[in-house]
Amino acid sequence: MKKTMLTGVRPSGNLTLGNYLGAIKNFVDRQEQYNSYIFVADLHAITGYIEPQKVKESVKNSIAIYLACGINPKVTTIFKQSDVLEHGTLGFIMTFQTKMGELSRMTQFKCKSNQQTKEGVDTGLFVYPTLMVADILLYNTAIVPVGKDQQQHVELTRDLAERFNKRYGKTFEMPDVYVAPVGNKILNLQNPLEKMNKSDNGDNKGTIFLLDDIEVAKKKIMSAKTDSYNNVHFDEDNQPGISNLMSILSKITDESFESIEKRYKNKGYGEFKKEVAQVVAELLLDIQSKYKTYNDEIILDKILKEGAMQATNIAKQTLSRATKALGLN
Ligand code: AMP
C-alpha cells in the first residue's frame, strides 16, 4: 500500500511563485509515489475577513492552477476543504487537545498578530493551526510537503497526534514534514527580508503571481532588490536578494548554486537577472497556457465532486475512530 501525501493552499488570492516552488512543485514531483491528496484550503482563507466573492472565485481558479502546474487528477485526489465537513469537527476536537502556550508560540501567529493590534487579534489567527492538524490527520498522512513557514504547524500536528494517541489509544498516523532544501522560503523581491506573500502591501512589485502578465513578471525580476557586492554568490545573511534569485533559478532548473556561481563569476547582476527573468517567464508561459485549457466549469466541477466523495470517505473513517476513542459514540 502506498503511503499518503497531502498538502493544501489557501485560495485567498492568486497563487504565487512562492506557493509553486515551496509546495506545489514538490508535490507534483512526488504525486505518483504516494496516495496523493491536495486541497483548496477555503476554511483557512476565512480566518480573517475576506470578501466572500473573492473566496468563491479563487477556489476554481486555484484548482485550474493546480492542474496547470502538473497535478494529475488521475493520481491525485483534488478537493475543497469545506466540502468535507469532518475538517471542522476534527479541528474543533484538536483545539481541545492544545495548550494556549503551544498556539502562542507559533511564529506565524506571533508575526501576524503584531500587525493586528489596532482592532484586536482574530481568534482565527490563533487557532487555525489546529485546523491544519485536523487537515493532516484526517487522511492518515505520512508526508506533508510545505514551505518553511508551515513546518512548525506540521510539528504541532505530530505533538498533538502523539498526545491524543497516548491519552485515548492509537488513533492517528504520525505525519512527517517535507521541506525541500532549495526554494522553501521564496522572498519578497522588493524586501528580501520578508517572505513572498499573496498580499504585498498593495503594489505587488515584490510578488510574482503565476497568472501575472509575462512582461510584468520579467520586470519584477529585473527590478528585484539586490546589493552592492556585484557578486553572484549564495549568502542568505549578507546577500538575501541575490540568494533569493539564485534559489528561484536553481529550483526551476535544478542547477546547483556552485554551478550558477561559476557561470556568473566576474559577470554583473543585470545579465544574471535576465536569465532568471527568462526562466521564470518560460515557467509562467507554460502554466498559463495549460491554465486556459483547464479553466473550464465542467472539468472543475467534476473534479471537485469526485474529490469531495473520495476525501469524505477517508475523513469519515478517521473522525469516527477519533470520536469512538473519546467516548463520543
Ligand atoms: P498559503 O498560501 O499560505 O496557503 O501556503 C500554501 C503553501 O505554499 C504552504 O506550503 C506554504 O508553506 C507555501 N508557501 C507560501 N509562500 C511561500 C514562499 N514565499 N516560499 C515558499 N513556500 C511558500
pLDDT tens for each residue of 263-306: 999 999 999 999 999 999 999 999 999 999 999 999 999 999 99
Can 198 be counted among the known catalytic residues?
A: yes
Residue 205 has pLDDT above 90, yes or no: yes
Find out whether 54 and 13 touch, Cβ atoms under 8 Å. Answer: yes
Distance 10 CA to ligand 1 centre (A): 9
- Per the annotation, the verdict on 195 as an active-site residue is yes
Residue 112 C-alpha cell reads as: 501576524
Q: What one-character-per-residue DSSP string does 57-76 give?
A: HHHHHHHHHHHHTT--TTTE
CA of 23 to the centre of ligand 1 (A): 6
pTM exceeds cut of 0.85: yes
- The rounded distance, in Å, linking the Cα atoms of 76 and 69 is 13
**Best probe residue, ligand 1, of 9, 16, 248 (max atoms within 8 Å of C-beta):** 9
Residue 140 pLDDT exceeds 90: yes
Whether 220 sits among the annotated catalytic residues: the reply is no
| Confidence at residue 122, expressed as pLDDT on a 0 to 100 scale | 87
The mean pLDDT of the chain is 95
Other C-beta atoms lying within 10 Å of the C-beta of residue 144: 26
Nearest to 313 by CA among 144, 79, 94: 79
What confidence score (pLDDT) does residue 202 get?
A: 67
Q: What CA–CA distances, in Å, run from 93 to 90, 138, 154, 190?
A: 5, 12, 17, 41
Rounded CA-CA distance 195/147 in Å is 10
Q: What is the pLDDT of residue 75?
A: 97
pLDDT tens digits, residue range 154-204? 999 999 999 999 999 999 999 999 999 999 999 999 999 999 998 766 689
pLDDT of res. 310: 98
| Residue whose CB lies within 8 A of the most ligand 1 atoms, among 19, 20, 43, 112, for a mutation test | 19
pLDDT at 118 exceeding the cut of 70: no
Which amino acids bring their CB within 6 angstroms of ligand 1?
9-10, 18-19, 22-23, 41, 146-147, 149-150, 184-186, 195-196, 198
Closest C-alpha residue for ligand 1 atom 18:
18
32-56 tens-digit pLDDT: 999 999 999 999 999 888 899 988 8
Percent of the chain exceeding pLDDT 90 equals 88
Does residue 98 contact residue 55 with C-beta atoms inside 8 Å? no
